[in-house]
Structure 1
Amino acid sequence: MTPQLLSIPFHASILAENDAGASLASGDAREVFPLASVTKLFTAYSALIAISRGLVTLSAPAPYPGVTLEHLLSHASGMAMGERAITRPPGTRRIYSNAGIEAAADMLEEATGTEIGRWIEETIAEPLGLTSLTVEGSPAYSGYAHAEDLMLFARELSRPTLISAELLDLATSVHFSHLDGIVPGYGNFRPCPWGIGAEIKGEKQAHWTAPSSSGKTFGHFGQSGSFLWVDPLSGERAVFLGEEPFGPWHRDNWSALNEEILHAMRGQ
C-alpha cells in the first residue's frame, strides 16, 4: 500500500507498521541508501548494549571537564557541532553535535576494546540479521542500510531483545529535560527533549513527525533524506530512505507524509 495524497518527487523507499498487524510499503525496501544521522541511533544503541554488559556506564567521565557519556549521547555536553571544543558548560544547552557522538564512540572503543563499526556489527547487525548495515566512517553519520533492515531495527526499538526493556525505557526518556536547543532544519525548541541518541518529540510543534503521533515518539532523521521513528504508546513505527538529500521538500512535507502513513495504517 502507498500513501495516496502526497506525491514524492524523487525515488524513495518507505516501510511502516503497527502492533495491530497493519503495514505499508512503497519503493524497493532492499535498495541501500546512506543513513546520515540515523547512524547515531545505531551508535547509541551499541552504547546501551555495552552498558547492559557492564562495560561502561552513562556516568562514565569523558576526557572533557564535567562531561559524561550521557552528556555526549544526548547532545548536552556543550560540544560544538563539528569540532571537539566545549562551547557551553555541560548540561546548559542542547547543542546538536556530530563531534560529541564521535567522542562517545571513542569512549565505547576504549571500554569494549573494539572499533566502533565492528562493535555495531557484532552487537546489532549480526544478532538482528541486518545484512545491509555498514558503518565504516564516522559513527555520527556514515552508515548505509536498506529500509528492510531499518524496520528490523525499528522493531528492536519497539520490543528490545538485545537489552532490557527497562534500559530502553531509560534511553528513550528525556535526559537533561530543561535544555533548549535546535533541531537542524526545523529550528529552535524550548525545551528540546532528547534521549540517548534519539530525539524525542515531546511538545514540539512544526516537527518532522506526524501531528497525531504521541509526545513519546522518538527517532532520528538524517541529512541524506532518511528517518526512523517509533511511537511506543501507539505501537507504530516507520522508516524512510530516498535519493534526495534533506531539503525544502522534506522539511515542508515529512510531517504530512507521516500523518498520511498513520491514517493509511489505522484505516486498514
Structure 2
Amino acid sequence: MTAPDPRSAALETEVQQLLGDAVANGITPSAVCSVVLHGQPLRTISAGPATAGTYFDLASVTKVFTAVTALSLVDGGALALDEPICTWLPGFRSGHGNSGKSAVTLRHLLTHTSGLPAVWPGWRSALATGTAYNRQDLLADLLSMELTAVPGTHFDYSCVGFNTVMALAEHVTGRPWAGLVSERVLEKLSNGGCPSGLVELTGRPDPALCAPTEFQPEYGRGLIQGIVHDESAWSLGGLSGNAGLFGTAPSLAAFGEDLLAGLPGILSPTMAAEMWQDQLPLVLGDNADSGGPGYGHGLGLRIGQESWMGAHPGARGHNGFTGTSLLVDREAGIAAALLTNRVHPSRTLSDVTAMRHAVADVVYAAA
C-alpha cells in the first residue's frame, strides 16, 4: 500500500483553511477547490453550503471553451485565424466610425485585440423598452458596435469580442451555439475523447444542484440560480461566447488536465499550441508594451496574470466574475479549479482575488 504524499496532505489542509477563512470572513458564501498534481487528483475541498457535486456559474471561464470551439472550426477548415471575419459574417458591418472592422480577425477576437469595446449595452436598452428579447435583433445590434481602437494595436478585455466569435461560428455552421459547444467539445470530453472522461460541464444545469448567484429583482430575475448571471449572455439565451457554462470543481479541474494533454480528439497539436503561446507580441508588435495588459494572452488563455495566479510565469488559465477560476501549468504539472459564488447575494460585497492568489501559491508549493 502506497503511503500518502505528505505534500498532498499539507496542501489539502492549507486549502481547507483558506476556503474556510473566506467563508467565515464573508468573502464568499461557499467555495470548492479541486486540484490535480502531476496527473493525480487530490481530495476536493469545500467550505460553506457547497460540495464537490455543486454546480457553479463559471462566468468568463466559459471563454476558454469558446476558444476551443472556434479553434476546432479552424482545424476543420470552416474558419481561419488571420482572415477578416467579415469574409464569413456580413453582419459584422462597417459604417460611420467602423471602417477598421474590415481588418478584424479571429485571432484578434480571441486575444482581445480587435478594438471592440469591453461591454455591450444592448441588453439594457432592450430591457428598458419593455419588449421581449429577440435574439437575432440583439446580435445584429452587438455586431454593429463601433471600434474603440484600431485592430491589433491595443488590448482591451472584451466580452463583445467573444460574443462575436459565437455569432461568427453560428453563421458559418448554421448551428446554434450551445449545440456547437456541446458537439465539438463537451460531448467529446464525456465520450472519452480526452483522458478525463468529463461529464459535469453544461449550459443547462439542474438549478437545484447550483450555487445561487445574485439577487436581481430590478431585472425581474429575483434570486439567480441555475441561470447565467451575466446579463449579456442571459439576454442572448444562456450559454454564449462570453459566459453561461456551469460546472463542478472536479469537472473543471479534469478539463484543465485535458488542456495540459493538448485536448486530443478535439484540437490538432497546432491549434492546442496556439492556445498556450503568448500571442500579444505577434499581434501587437511595437504596441505590446504600451497597448498590452501587463500579462500574456494565448488564444483564450491568460498567461502569468500575477494578481490571482501568483508569481508563476508558466501559469495559464482564466477567471470569472462570479468568483471562479481555472489554473493550469504544464511544467509544474498543475490543474486547479477554484469555484465560489462571491456575487451572492450581491456583486458589491467581496473580492476573491487575494484568495485565488493564496490558493495558487499553496498549490505551486506542493507541486
Q: Which residue among 220, 231, 240 is the counterpart of 1:138? A: 240
The answer as to whether partners of 1:133 and 1:149 remain within 8 angstroms in 2 is no
**Aligned residue in 1 for 2:152:** 91
Cα shift at 1:252? 2.4
**Against the structure 1 CA distance between its residues 189 and 48, is the aligned structure 2 distance closer, same or farther, given a 3 Å change threshold?**
closer
Cα shift at 1:78? 0.8
Structure 1 Cα separation of the partners of residues 39 and 242 of structure 2: 33
Q: Which moved more, 1:108-117 or 1:3-12?
A: 3-12
Structure 2 Cα separation of the partners of residues 180 and 248 of structure 1: 31
TM-score by length of 2: 0.64
**Against the structure 1 CA distance between its residues 20 and 72, is the aligned structure 2 distance closer, same or farther, given a 3 Å change threshold?**
closer
What does 1:131-210 align with in structure 2 at a 5 Å threshold? 131-134=200-203, 136-159=238-261, 160-161=263-264, 162-177=266-281, 178=284, 179=288, 189-190=293-294, 192-201=295-304, 205=306, 207-210=307-310
**Aligned residue in 1 for 2:107:** 70
SS in 1 for 2:58: strand
Structure 2 Cα separation of the partners of residues 257 and 176 of structure 1: 27
**Against the structure 1 CA distance between its residues 23 and 166, is the aligned structure 2 distance closer, same or farther, given a 3 Å change threshold?**
farther
Higher strand share: 1
**Against the structure 1 CA distance between its residues 258 and 93, is the aligned structure 2 distance closer, same or farther, given a 3 Å change threshold?**
same
What do you get for the CA RMSD once the two structures are aligned? 2.2
**Aligned residue in 2 for 1:185:** none
Give 5+ residue unaligned stretches, structure 1. 183-187
The answer as to whether partners of 2:44 and 2:250 remain within 8 angstroms in 1 is no
SS in 2 for 1:38: helix
Higher helix share: 2
Cα shift at 1:148? 2.2
SS in 1 for 2:146: coil
1:260 aligns with 2:359: no
Structure 2 Cα separation of the partners of residues 243 and 120 of structure 1: 24
The answer as to whether partners of 1:62 and 1:107 remain within 8 angstroms in 2 is yes
Cα shift at 1:4? 5.0
Q: Which residue among 33, 50, 68 is the counterpart of 2:73? A: 50
**Aligned residue in 2 for 1:61:** 84
**Aligned residue in 1 for 2:210:** none
SS in 2 for 1:77: coil
1:253 is matched by which residue type in structure 2? M
The superposition leaves residues 39-63 of structure 1 with CA deviations (integer Å, 9 ceiling, x where unpaired) of 1011101111111222211113123
Whose Rg is larger? 2
TM-score by length of 1: 0.86
Equivalences, count: 254
1:195 is matched by which residue type in structure 2? G
SS in 2 for 1:140: coil
Give 5+ residue unaligned stretches, structure 2. 1-11, 24-28, 87-100, 121-144, 191-198, 205-237
Structure 1 Cα separation of the partners of residues 78 and 254 of structure 2: 26
Cα shift at 1:180? 5.2
The superposition leaves residues 137-191 of structure 1 with CA deviations (integer Å, 9 ceiling, x where unpaired) of 4320122121122122112111121112332112221113243589xxxxx844x
1:112 aligns with 2:181: no
**Aligned residue in 1 for 2:54:** 31
Cα shift at 1:210? 2.9
